[in-house]
């Protein structure tokens, strides 16, 4: 059940996420969506990039922190 408020909140959040995605390099954008939209496993992404799963997790962590910062800059709290 969606109210007007939640739809507006979702749209605002979506706009910020889209805007933030546009600031990323193609590789980072693809990585973020492969993990959090398509649900690919960390180790699988790590294999594809030829790096360790630990390093991949670090890269994803930095991306999440970057998104968090972008949301905070827009004063969006979750």
Partner 1 sequence: MKEKKIFDALTEVREEYIEEARTTQLKRQPKGWKKWTAIAACAVIVFGISGVLLFQNFFPFGGSTGSGGAGHGENSTFMSYAGPVFPLTLSKSDNSITANRSVLYDFSLPNEDSIRVWGANVRDRYTLSNSSTEEKIIEAIYPFAGSFNQLHEQMPAITVNGQEALPTLYAGGYSGGFTGVYGGNDPDASFNILQLDSWEGYKSLLEDGHYQSSAFALYPVLSQEVAVYTFTYFEAPDEYDAATQAISFTIDPDKTTILQYGFNGGEIGVDGFRRYSYFVPNGMSRGKRGNDTKLLIVIGDDITDYTLQGYKNGACERGNELEGVSATVTRQVRVMSDVINELIDDFFDQYGDGNSLAVSQDMFLGAVSEFMVQYGVLSESVRDRYQHGMVEDIISEANNLKRVFYLKFEVTIPAGGSVPVTADMHKEPSYDFACSSSDNKGIQGYDMVTRLGSNLYFDALTAELTSTDNIEIVRQNYGFSLSQEVTKVELDPTQEHYYLEIRLVEH
- Kindly give, in sequence order, each residue whose CB lies less than 8 Å from that of residue 24, ignoring residues fewer than 6 positions away: 32, 63, 66
Q: How far is the CB of 72 from partner 1 (least distance, A)?
A: 14
Q: How far is the CB of 12 from partner 1 (least distance, A)?
A: 8
DSSP 8-state code for residue 2: -
Q: How far is the CB of 30 from partner 1 (least distance, A)?
A: 5
Cα–Cα distances (Å) from 29 to 1, 37, 45, 47, 67, in that order, read 31, 11, 13, 18, 11
What is the pattern of x (binds partner 1, CB under 8 A) and - over residues 9-48?
xxx-xx--xx--x----xx-xxx-xxxxxxxxxxxxx--x
Query: Measured between alpha carbons, how far is 29 from 8 in angstroms, rounded to an integer?
Result: 25
Residues near partner 1, by CB under 8 A: 1-7, 9-11, 13-14, 17-18, 21, 26-27, 29-31, 33-45, 48-58, 60-61, 64, 78
């Amino acid at each position: 059940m969606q109210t007007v408020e939640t739809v507006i909140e979702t749209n605002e959040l979506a706009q910020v996420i889209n805007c933030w995605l546009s600031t990323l390099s193609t590789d980072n954008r693809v990585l973020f969506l492969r993990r959090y939209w398509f649900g690919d496993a960390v180790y699988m992404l790590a294999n594809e990039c030829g790096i360790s799963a630990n390093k991949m997790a670090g890269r994803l962590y930095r991306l999440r922190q970057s998104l968090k910062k972008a949301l905070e800059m827009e004063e969006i709290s979750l």
